[in-house]
Amino acid sequence: MKAPYKTYSTYFKLMFIISIAALFSIGCNKKPKVVCATSDNVTYTKDIAPIIEVKCFKCHDAKSYKTKASHNKIYDYPSLKKMAESGLLMGSLTHKKGFIPMPYRAKQKIDTCAIALIASWINTGMKK
């Protein structure tokens, strides 16, 4: 009865080695986890305005917002702050149920780190 045991143990050892190898290869092929740069001092001028300009001004800049964004004003500090305070900004950016997803009709959210930065701007009192 010795031989089968020995075979089994060899078999399990082999399986063990294969699974470890598999785990390693999965680990190596996986995309690195998104780590967003954070800042203790997020400001509208330095951090937030540039994101809004690039991602939202196509429709929301001073010239177009009336016609292209149904008068939803977010192109300066007071207007964006107001939109953030109402909850509409984060609701739209995170595509939360009951909000109109932004960017409008893009199907995709803006990148995770940009949303995180805007959230942290709101949570730290929307500094100018």
Query: Residue 126 Cβ, how far from ligand HEC at the closest point, in Å?
Result: 14
Report the nearest approach of ligand HEC to the CB of residue 11 (Å): 56
Given the rule CB under 6 A, which residues bind ligand HEC?
55-56, 58-60, 68-70, 72, 74, 83, 88-89, 92-93, 99-100, 102-104, 110
Give CA–CA dist 77/8, Å, rounded: 70
Cis peptide before 103 (omega within 30 of 0): yes
Q: Closest separation between CB of residue 43 and ligand HEC, Å?
A: 17
- Whichever of 73 and 127 has its CB closer to ligand HEC, that residue is 73
Do 90 and 96 meet the contact criterion of CB atoms below 8 Å apart?
yes
Compare residues 43 and 61 and give the one whose CB is closer to ligand HEC: 61
Residue 59 near residue 68, CB atoms below 8 Å: yes
Token match 């009336």: residue? 66
